[in-house]
Every structure is written in structure tokens, then in C-alpha cells.
Structure 1
Amino acid sequence: MSDLILSSLPLLFKGLLVTLLLSVASIIGSTLLGLLAAVLRTSNVPVGAQIARVYTELFRGTPVLITLMFIYFGVAYFGYEINLFAAGILGLSIYQGAYISEVFRAGIEAVPKGQWEVSQILGLDKRQAFFSVILPQTRKIVLPPLAGQYLSLIKDTSIVSMIGMSELMHQGQAIVDRIGQPVVIYLLVAALYFAICYPLSRWVQHHNHTRSQLS
């Protein structure tokens, strides 16, 4: 049994590295996209707000696998090429960005409207007020739910194996197909996912506990 574990670890660690890179890139992409959609949703531009609303409702109402399949195979259908890693980042960013946009929107709307008025009194235009006054306050509000959404994104990376990317889950499946022992291998895969997610989960719990004590 120990020989099986030792022989499997190099491939699993290779998949873990891909999962980490995919997670980090998708977290950055989904955060930027989610913030943009949230700004549009809370803006006074009707067209932009409507586009952002359609985007969030569309992707929150469909499975992440459909998004990944549509991007990877849809791009090829139109005569273009996209590699697996780029398709994974794009698919996860678009899908998770729809959820993150709602987190940001709730945070922006939770900032007292008086903050906008104070910013105008200080001579700040809307862009300056948003980035200098509203966004810093929004960040404090959204940090715990945002981290929870990042946890969901990290776990969603396992679905990218369905389009053939050799991330952690795909490497685990390849080992099982070759040597069997699915219980042992998938336990190792689960342990590695746990090693990624547990610190972030503990941080969220600690942050929420600290906030509740301060309030």
C-alpha cells in the first residue's frame, strides 16, 4: 500500500500544481469580472445594468460544466483554437464571476448612501468616490463571502477534468485507470484538495468570529 501511495504522489503533485495555477488565475479573472458586473449593476447606466443582470442570471442558472463545454468546443466550432488551460480559466472566471458579482453588488449597496454625498462635498467625482471611499468599505464587507466563493471555485476546478485538463482530479482518474485502487487514490486526491481549502476555510471562520466579537 505504501508503495502505491509513493508511486502515485509525483503525478498527483503535478496535477496539484496545475490545480493551484488554474485556481489562482481563475480567482483573479472572476474577481475582476465580478467587480465589473457589480459596478454596472449598481450604476445609473440602464444598458450596462441590464447586460450585467442578464450575465449574472444566465450563468448562475446553468451548470459550470455547460460553460466549460461551450467555451472549449464552441470556440473550435467557430474555427478558432483554445488550449485546455485557457479554456479552464475562461470558463471558471465567467461562471464564478456571475456569483462574485452578486457578492460585490451586495457589498456596494451595503455602504451607506451618505458616503457618496460626503464624497461629493469633498469635491470627488463618482469615479474617485468609488475607488477612494466606497470600494475600500466594500472590501471589508465582502471579504468573508468572497473567500467562501473562492473555496467553491477551487473545488470546481475538478470539473475541468471533463474537458481533458490534467489537473488533480484528472491525474487521480488516470492513476485509477492504470492501477486500480480507487478508494486509496481518491482519498489522496481528497486530502490534497483539503490541504488547499482548509486554510482558507479556517481563515473565513476566524474572520467571521473576530467580526462578531467586535460587533
Structure 2
Amino acid sequence: MPPLRNCPNGFASAIARFYTSFFRGLPLLMQVYLIYLGLPQLGCVIINAVPSGVLALSLCVGAYMTEVFRSGIQSIDRGHWEAFRSMSFGFGLTMRRIILPQGLPVIIPPTGNMFIGMLKDSSLVSVLRVWELTFLARTIGQPTFHHMEMLITASLIYWMMSACLEVGQSRLELHSEGVRCDDR
């Protein structure tokens, strides 16, 4: 079964293509502002700063992740799909037993990179005065004129969190390769 972006239903495919194009095409900061400041002007819901930031990050990263998963699924030879269809295996079983175990080694590295990028991009939500690491560094450093010290401290914390995510990504990659080798 093809990913939603490539599915035979033209309406669903158009929505998926629009979503990925729109949220990948706009800068994340613009998305944060559009959700927090723009939606209330359109008469839509008023969303507080933290949920606005979470929504903007989720929509943006989700658009990139759809492409990561699409490419991982499409990296599997078409013959695998056809073989399991001919054996009357359902879509779910085929995905769980054949496609995803083979696609994970392709999917995990860019997924890890996206999570690290999202961690760092969370600093953009500080423009909404959300109590986030960058906002705190600026707020604490301002009255004491210790901007550099606070920004370096925040940078080191971001770096340590990124390093933890990198370790987790490496372990997942090793585990997925081990699973893939065991299945052969």
C-alpha cells in the first residue's frame, strides 16, 4: 500500500502534498507567529504561547517526518509487497513483519537528526516569552549584564541534551541493524 502522499485517492494525496509542502516551505519562526498571532486574527481559536510553540514544532517536524517514513518505506523492494500480497497477508502484518524491520535502518538516522533539530529549534519559541532555556538565559543574564555566561551555559545544556539524543540514536541504529541481521 503506498504512502498517503502517493495514494490513489486524489483528495487525500492533495492534502498530504499540501501539508508537507506548506510546513516544510515556511520557516519555523513564521509558523510559530502564524499560529500564535495569526489564528486569533482570523477568528479562530486563541492558543496560549506554550501550546502554540508545541503545535508549530509538531506540524513542522511532522511534515519532515512524513517524508522520512515515505522514503524508508519506498526503499523496500516492490517484490516484497507483492510476495506477501500473493500469500494473502494483510497490510498490517506485512508492514510489521517485513517492511518496517527492513526500513528502520533507513528511517532511524534522519529521525534522530529531526529530534535533535527539534530540540534546538525549540529555542525559537522563546520569541513568545515562553520559559524555555534560551528565554531563561536571556532573562537571567540581562539584569546582571552576564549575557555571555548565561548564553554559554544554555549552549552547553543544549549540547549535552543533543549528545544524549545522539547516544540514543546510535543505540537504536545498532539495535535495528541487529534485528535486521537476525531476520535474514
TM-score, structure 1 normalization: 0.73
Mapping of residues 130-141 of structure 1, within 5 Å = 130-141=95-106
How much has 1:45 moved relative to structure 2? 2.2
Map residues 124-203 of structure 1 onto 2, 5 A cutoff: 124-203=89-168
Q: Which moved more, 1:39-48 or 1:59-68?
A: 39-48
Whether the 8 Å CA contact 1:42–1:105 is kept in 2: the answer is: no
TM-score (norm 2): 0.84
Deviation, 1:127, is: 4.4
Instruction: Indicate conservation of the 8 Å contact 2:141/2:149, yes or no.
Output: no
> Quick one: distance in 2 between partners of 1:69 and 1:42?
31
1:142 and 1:152 map into 2 onto residues whose CA distance is 16
1:45 aligns with 2:9: yes
Shift of 1:117: 1.0
Equivalent position of 2:23 in the other structure: 59
Query: Do the aligned residues in 2 keep the contact of 1:67 with 1:91 (CA within 8 Å)?
Result: yes
Tell me the alpha carbon deviations over residues 50-80 of structure 1, each in whole angstroms, 9 at most, x when there is no partner.
2211211122111001101111112322152
Name the CA distance, whole Å, in 1 between partners of 2:13 and 2:92.
17
* Whole-Å separation in 2 of the counterparts to 1:113 and 1:176: 57
Matched, 1:104 2:69: yes
C-alpha separation in 2, matches of 1:49 and 1:130: 20
Distance 1:44 1:128, change over 3 A: farther
Q: Secondary structure at the match of 2:3?
A: helix
Segments of structure 1 that go 5 or more residues without pairing to the other structure are 1-37
Aligned counterparts of 1:132 and 1:103: Cα–Cα separation in 2: 19
Q: Mean Cα displacement is larger for which, 55-64 or 118-127?
A: 118-127
Q: Deviations over 1:85-134 (max 9, x none)?
A: 21111100101111111111110110111111122122123344334432
Alpha-carbon distance in 1 for matches of 2:97, 2:9:
21
8 Å CA contact retained: 1:108, 1:134: yes
Q: How many residue pairs end up in the alignment?
A: 174
1:113 is aligned with what amino acid? R
Alpha carbons of structure 1 residues 44 and 100: separation in structure 2 relative to 1, 3 Å: same
Question: Could you tell me how far apart the structure 1 residues matched to 2:100 and 2:92 are?
Answer: 10
> What displacement does 1:49 show?
1.8
RMSD: 2.3
